Amino acid sequence: MGKRTLLSFSPQIKVVDATLRDGGLVNSFYFEDEFVKKLYQTNIQAGVDYMEFGYKASSAIFDKSKFGKWKFCEEKDLREIVGNNDSDLKIAVMADVGRTDIDKDIIPKNESVIDMVRVASYINTIPSAIEMVENCAKKGYETTVNIMAISHANESDLHEALELIGNSSANGVYLVDSYGSLYPEQIRKLADRYLDMGAKYNKFVGIHAHNNQQLAFANTIECVVSGVNYLDATVSSLGRGAGNCPLELLIGFLKNPKYKLHPILKFIEEEILKLKKSGVVWGYDIPYLITGVLDRHPSGAIDCIKNNRTDYANIYLELMGLE
């Protein structure tokens, strides 16, 4: 895929709504069924291509009493929302390396409404991710490998990981700015590397951005211009910590007439505002800026937000290890 301009019409682009999955990290996946049903219908109306419902987490590792159903995405719960999914919207779930019982938790595709399994892996567990991909591919699913914390990967490891994925059954590979630390110029260079591999092995490339430095949207459209086709976003940026690329911004930017902004704005008005009023907290804040600038996992910032800390200068020194 060649370079695009900001005005390019690109029918190859696929929009992936990750609101439930990434947003579930904010509220332990306790979403009301009505919220989920409305989001599903909103995505259909808006022309979104994939909706990621949550994780396929192992109940042997995670206590079901401490999480909502979208941590586990059992087939019966999915079907309560989508029925047989008689729509063009495809259903995705995420499976973390080491946190999913791939044999028990992933049933054959012909028994499931799930279309795509996205395997999340750090660079050092790529061989295990590929083993999971091969398992899911044999069962009939579309698959991706989402390489997390890419800002911490060195050149040789990234090259080897991309080659391993290229030679696997994965349909695509995701560039994931887990810490929201990357800038558009860095994203562009990484996207070019991923796209070179994609062209060599016939894999699509996706982007999943975080908003610690308020660059999730900018980095996503930088990838669009570079030729990346699978674009993750969440409604109103709902997601872990600083959140993600806002779906409403992305839909407003894309020039494909299949995408409609009005249904998303309606969902924000009717559901997201209620979620915020209920006390669920996410989005850009100074502690997330600090972890983004320092290229750190946002866990320290999340703790600061939970404790209502506003001593930002001290937080900065603490996270730098100077206090």
Query: What average pLDDT does range 282-296 have in this prediction?
Result: 97
The pLDDT assigned to 4 comes to 86
Residue 1 has pLDDT above 60, yes or no: no
Buried b (16+ CB within 10 A) or exposed e, 67-89: bbbbbbbeeebbeebbeebeeeb
Residue 323 has pLDDT above 70, yes or no: no
Query: What average pLDDT does range 147-175 have in this prediction?
Result: 97
Query: What average pLDDT does range 8-19 have in this prediction?
Result: 93
How would DSSP label each residue in 227-274? Answer: T--EEEEBGGG-SSTT-B-BHHHHHHH---TT--SHHHHHHIIIIIHH
Residue 7 has pLDDT above 80, yes or no: no
The pTM (predicted TM-score) of the whole model is: 0.97
CA distance 15 to 251: 8
Tokens 């049933």 map to which residue?
A: 107
